[in-house]
Amino acid sequence: MKKALTTSVLILTVYLVTNLIVPLTLKGNMIFLADTFLWLIVILTTLLFAKLYQTNLRKTDKTVIQIAAIIAIFQIFLLLFTSFFMGFGENAVTWTTTALTFYFPFLITPFIAMELSRAFLTTKISRRKPTLTLLLISLFYTLLLTTIPTYTSLTTPLAISEFLIKTFIPTLAINLLATYFAHLGGFLANLTYMAIPAFFTWFSPILPNPPWAAQSILTVIAATIGFLVLDQAVKPLPTKRIHRTLIKQKSQLPYWTAIALIGLIAVWSSTGLLGFTPTIIASGSMQPTMDAGDIAVVAKVPTDTIKPGDIIQYVTPDAMIIHRVIDTTGSKGSKVFVTKGDANTQPDDPILQSQVLGKVLFTIPKLGWVSVYLKTAFVGIISFFLNNMAVAYATLGIIVAGSLFGFHRYRNQPLRKLRRRIGR
Whether the predicted pLDDT of 256 surpasses 70 = no
pLDDT for res 199: 92
Q: Do 30 and 146 fall into the same domain?
A: yes
Whether 46 maps to a domain, the answer reads yes
Q: Do 397 and 341 fall into the same domain?
A: no
Q: Do 80 and 157 fall into the same domain?
A: yes
Indicate the residue type of 187. Answer: F
Whether the predicted pLDDT of 212 surpasses 50 = yes
Whether 422 maps to a domain, the answer reads no
Whether the predicted pLDDT of 72 surpasses 70 = yes
Q: Do 204 and 244 fall into the same domain?
A: yes
Q: Do 230 and 290 fall into the same domain?
A: no
Greater confidence (65 vs 331) lies with 65
**pTM of the predicted model as reported, rounded to 2 decimal places:** 0.63
pLDDT per residue over 179-207, tens digit each?
888 888 888 989 999 999 999 888 888 78
Lowest mean pLDDT among 81-95, 218-232, 370-384: 370-384
Whether 375 maps to a domain, the answer reads no
pLDDT for res 115: 92
Looking at the chain, the whole-number percentage of residues with pLDDT higher than 90 is 10
pLDDT per residue over 145-181, tens digit each?
876 656 666 667 666 767 777 788 888 889 988 988 8
For the residues 262-280, what does the mean pLDDT come to? 61
State the CATH number of the domain containing residue 342: 2.10.109.10
pLDDT per residue over 27-57, tens digit each?
888 888 999 999 999 999 988 888 877 777 7
Number of domains in the chain: 2
- Domain hosting residue 125, numbered range: 2-272+388-417
248-257, 277-286, 307-316, 380-389 — most confident range: 307-316
Looking at the chain, the whole-number percentage of residues with pLDDT higher than 70 is 68
Q: Do 288 and 265 fall into the same domain?
A: no
Whether 117 maps to a domain, the answer reads yes
Q: Do 45 and 186 fall into the same domain?
A: yes
